[in-house]
Amino acid sequence: MTGMPAAQRLSPIEQVGPDHRRVLVDLGDRAYPVDVGAGVRRLLPAVVARLGARRAVIVSARPAGTVPDPGVPALRVAARDGEVDKTLANVEALCSQFAGFGLTRSDVIISCGGGTTTDVVGLAAALYHRGTTVVHLPTSLLAQVDASVGGKTAVNLPAGKNLVGAYWQPSAVLCDTELLATLPRREWVNGYGEIARAHFIGAPDLMDRPVGEQIAASVALKAGVVARDERDGSLRHILNYGHTLGHALERVSDYAMRHGEAVAVGTVFAGRLAGALGRIRPERVAEHLDVVRGYGLPWALPAEVDLDALIAVMRLDKKSMGTGLTFVLDRASGPDEASGPELVADVDEALVRATLAAMPRETA
Ligand code: GLY
């Protein structure tokens, strides 16, 4: 399935207005639209009316006024973006507020914030009354291109990131590009790491395109993948291109390296490893560096990073079935088009080490 032609992985993008695109995540009777464009958060009352909700709880990590009036009586709850607040205690606290407000299963929960907020509110929605409708208003580039779409929700445990979660699809996602205007540069880099990796798993060339188009195309890719493999059985693994090393870099840097930064370096590495395994030609290996640099992303390993520590963490990667090293790796297009990225298990450690050792390093 991973070898399907890249173009077939993309869901259609409907051009609703000059700067308004819509992608359907086609999960049958759980299908939902992702609207992308300037001002689309103002569709919220229409979305709530379509869902038939009579009340809403709005959990927002953004200033008052970011989330429009949903058109039904609403409780507003303040949240905070960040990994430290992705806890089961916060899920419990949110559910208690839902209950205190008298929220029923046929009402709606609305999240507004970055990916950490959509993750924790999504999990609370999955658990409250065994599943309550949720609408996401993601406000970071990373959350708009990836985290808010596809139904993965999770919180952290002291033992690790995203260890407790559920698949719970939203009923709508509103990616308002106006909300990106004030993001600091590092937040843009965080999102562009995921857009750059999308280049290698079936997205069209998005460099130099308007941000709304970049987001919609990344969402179209993700929607196509999720519609075929909602629960990560096979095809969905490709969304983790560049992530085996990426997650390890985040972890060994104690999350000083942001997700998108780490995925960017991991994407360069994935290209080099595929090249070392003879899966792709040198030009395709070089394309990895060109794309990552083209988006202004980091491409080198941190100066002092310990390769043994990286390898130890990569062995624990959740894509791995055992203790071997598992990567999503590209493979050259053949005449039958049965090519493209796929999960490759038990990659030789000596080759991984040599490829890591040959990676460019930041200067100390
Ligand atoms: N972010 C990867 C996924 O949603 O599967």
Residue 208 backbone phi and psi in degrees, to 5: 70, 10
Are residue 188 and residue 297 in the same domain, yes or no? no
Is position 322 within any domain? yes
**Residue 264 belongs to domain with CATH number:** 1.20.1090.10
Whether 103 maps to a domain, the answer reads yes
Cβ of residue 266 lying under 6 Å from some atom of ligand 1: no
Do 170 and 282 belong to one domain?
no
Same domain, 199 and 76: yes
CATH of the domain at 197: 3.40.50.1970
The CB-based long-range contact list for 251-258 (8 Å cut-off, 24+ gap) reads: 251/161, 251/313, 252/305, 252/306, 252/309, 252/310, 252/313, 253/302, 253/305, 255/83, 257/302, 258/186, 258/189, 258/190, 258/193
Report the nearest atom of ligand 1 relative to the CA of 226: 5
Ligand 1 centroid, distance to 169 Cα (angstroms): 12
In a domain, 86, yes or no: yes
- For residue 178, the enclosing domain spans 6-228
Please identify, by atom number, the ligand 1 atom nearest to the C-alpha of residue 232: 5
Q: Is 242 in the pocket of ligand 1 (CB under 6 A)?
A: no
Query: Which amino acid is present at 246?
Result: G
pLDDT tens string, the chain, 364 residues long: the values are 455 666 678 899 999 999 999 999 999 999 999 999 999 999 999 999 999 999 999 999 999 999 999 999 999 999 999 989 999 999 999 999 999 999 999 999 999 999 999 999 999 999 999 999 999 999 999 999 999 999 999 999 887 888 999 999 999 999 999 999 999 999 999 999 999 999 999 999 999 999 999 999 999 999 999 999 999 998 999 999 999 999 999 999 988 999 999 999 999 999 999 999 999 999 999 999 999 999 999 999 999 999 999 999 999 887 777 778 999 999 986 544 456 899 999 999 999 999 999 999 998 7
1 within a domain of the structure (yes/no): no
Q: How far apart are CA 36 and CA 48, in angstroms?
A: 17
pTM: 0.94
Name the residue of 239, 328, 343 whose CB sits within 8 Å of the most ligand 1 atoms, as the mutation to test its pocket.
239
Q: Answer yes or no: is the C-beta of 150 below 6 A from any ligand 1 atom.
A: yes
